[in-house]
Amino acid sequence: MPKKITRTKETPPPRLNDNLATVFQVRNDVAAVLEFEYEHKTLAALQFDQLVAYAMQELPAGVNPQAVAQSLPELLGCRLTEAKLRAAAWRLAGNLPLLRRGIAVPPWKRQTQLEWVPAQFETAQRGRRSSWDFTLRALAGTPAGLQMPVRWTERACAYTARFLGFTQFRSATAKHNPHPLRSPQEFVTLRVLALLDPLLCDEGPGFHEVAFPGAIKDWNREQQRYRARVGEAYACPFEKPRTLPCVQCSVGYLQCRAAVHAATYESRPCPACGQESAPFDPAGPGAVCVNCERNVT
């Protein structure tokens, strides 16, 4: 279960320093210009200053150019793909306060101190012994753009659900509980503020404490409104009936903001249950359909 956050010098009060809308806009702007100029090219040392200049054109005022240059060593001498350039752009955009102070943010390799970072649930998979395996994406901070895996028991999921905006765990009385948690898969696309701990970062960014400042709560409330389809502004874009919960819908969040999995399910025969048109997640293992996976304990 996520531990209660203590207020100490080592664990400062959680706060969201990054305006995530700004982070995403700057990331997209920097990535667009770098991809246009350098995608599929190999960057030579003589071209590096020009790349930094292009990035500086899209970064906000006050950013230190030397810190930007020191943040991009991995781009030298390698073939630049869209993924590499976008990762670099996200890292710059997610660490603007550091860049303004002249502190470089090279690719994340290890965590040297406690750090609060905003993160979003990307995947949820039922694990063993009544547990769930989640993948979150760091939206800002030194590991901006990187994935962070975490495993929680169902008890921990139920505890955290209250802070994510769910009114009750697996409630059957939706009239009095407008946002019941039917499955921890509904955590997908919701956000937390995660405390990175160097002791948990041997194999990548790791955390066990989470918090929910105002901006995080606002995003989660808005997601809940989309899933509850309250009013015309939150109507289902695919005109699905309200009796169909979003967690049971085949549409992915690449097409619908309220969805709880990335890709839209494909329909094909399932060897386990025998259905001729069973839903399969194209991003999943593919051995059995989604309905059979849900029934696995």
Does pLDDT of 170 surpass 60?
no
Does pLDDT of 155 surpass 80?
yes
Q: How far apart are CA 238 and CA 229, in angstroms?
A: 12
Q: Are residues 35 and 119 in the same domain?
A: no
Does pLDDT of 161 surpass 90?
yes
pLDDT digits (tens, 9 = 90+) for 196-252: 999 999 999 999 899 998 899 999 999 999 998 888 899 999 999 888 999 989 999
pLDDT digits (tens, 9 = 90+) for 249-276: 999 999 999 999 999 999 999 998 988 8
What are residue 295's DSSP bridge partners?
none
For residue 274, is it within any domain? Answer: no
Does pLDDT of 177 surpass 70?
no
| The pLDDT of residue 108 | 97
Q: Are residues 87 and 119 in the same domain?
A: no
Residue 30, Ramachandran bin (φ over 0: left; ψ between -120 and 50: alpha; else beta): alpha
For residue 290, is it within any domain? Answer: no
The angle subtended at Cα 68 by Cα 65 and Cα 69, nearest 5°, is 90
**Which of 294, 109, 70 has the alpha carbon at shortest distance from 203?**
109
Single residue among 228, 248, 278 that ends a domain in this structure: 228
Q: Are residues 122 and 215 in the same domain?
A: yes
Q: Are residues 142 and 86 in the same domain?
A: no
CA atoms within 13 A on the CB side of 70: 11
CA atoms within 13 A on the CB side of 148: 31
| The pLDDT of residue 169 | 57
Single residue among 195, 228, 261 that ends a domain in this structure: 228
Q: How far apart are CA 210 and CA 274, in angstroms?
A: 42
What are residue 152's DSSP bridge partners?
132
Q: Are residues 122 and 65 in the same domain?
A: no
For residue 279, is it within any domain? Answer: no
Q: What DSSP designation does 128 have?
A: S
**Which of 74, 77, 78, 79 has the alpha carbon at shortest distance from 91?**
74
Q: Are residues 88 and 124 in the same domain?
A: no
Q: Are residues 52 and 136 in the same domain?
A: no
CA dist 17 to 8, 118, 189, 216, 295, Å?
19, 9, 20, 12, 41
For residue 248, is it within any domain? Answer: no
Q: What DSSP designation does 13 have?
A: P
For residue 278, is it within any domain? Answer: no
| The pLDDT of residue 12 | 53
Q: Are residues 215 and 136 in the same domain?
A: yes
* pTM exceeds 0.75, yes or no: yes
Q: Using 50, 70 and 90 to split pLDDT, how confident is the model at 4?
A: very low
**How do beta strands 207-211 and 115-126 pair?**
unpaired
For residue 166, is it within any domain? Answer: yes
Q: Are residues 146 and 197 in the same domain?
A: yes
For residue 48, is it within any domain? Answer: yes
CA dist 62 to 56, 133, 185, Å?
10, 40, 41
Q: Are residues 39 and 129 in the same domain?
A: no
Q: Are residues 130 and 35 in the same domain?
A: no
pLDDT digits (tens, 9 = 90+) for 97-148: 999 999 999 999 999 999 999 999 999 998 888 899 999 999 999 999 999 9
What are residue 53's DSSP bridge partners?
none
**Which domain does 41 fall in, by range?**
20-93
Q: How far apart are CA 139 and CA 4, in angstroms?
A: 23
Handedness of CA 264, 160, 152, 155 (dihedral sign): negative
For residue 142, is it within any domain? Answer: yes
Q: Work out how many domains the chain is built from and give that number.
A: 2
| The pLDDT of residue 6 | 42
pLDDT digits (tens, 9 = 90+) for 184-199: 999 999 999 999 999 9
pLDDT digits (tens, 9 = 90+) for 64-87: 999 999 999 999 999 999 999 999
Single residue among 181, 204, 228 that ends a domain in this structure: 228
Q: Using 50, 70 and 90 to split pLDDT, how confident is the model at 3?
A: very low
